[in-house]
Amino acid sequence: MTLVAVSRRRLKRGMVYVTLGRMEDKRYVASRLEDAPPSAGGLPRRVYEATALGRRLLEAHAQLARLLPEFAR
């Protein structure tokens, strides 16, 4: 899992999937099973994608993060 590797293992695989499950319950992301390439052992993998609601929420948080330094002055 790329996210776990990028975090230098500070994030645990279980933490990521619990968080994704909660985000899916809230309809921020949707998941689907996808056939894995034969080199991966042929096991299906779950692919997550942000929903329209999730993208709107992310954009709102990004705007807030850009504005916060202005209020801190």
Tell me which residue range forms the domain holding 29. 2-72
Contact by Cβ (8 Å): 36, 43: yes
Supply the CATH number for residue 47's domain. Answer: 1.10.10.10
pLDDT at 73: 67
Q: List, in order, residues 6 or more apart from 45 with CB less than 8 Å away.
A: 33, 34, 36
Count of domains forming the chain: 1
pLDDT at 1: 55
pLDDT at 12: 84
pLDDT at 6: 75
Tens place of pLDDT per residue across the chain (73 aa): 576 777 777 788 889 899 999 999 999 999 999 987 777 777 888 999 999 999 999 999 999 999 888 777 6
Structure tokens at 47: 């692919």
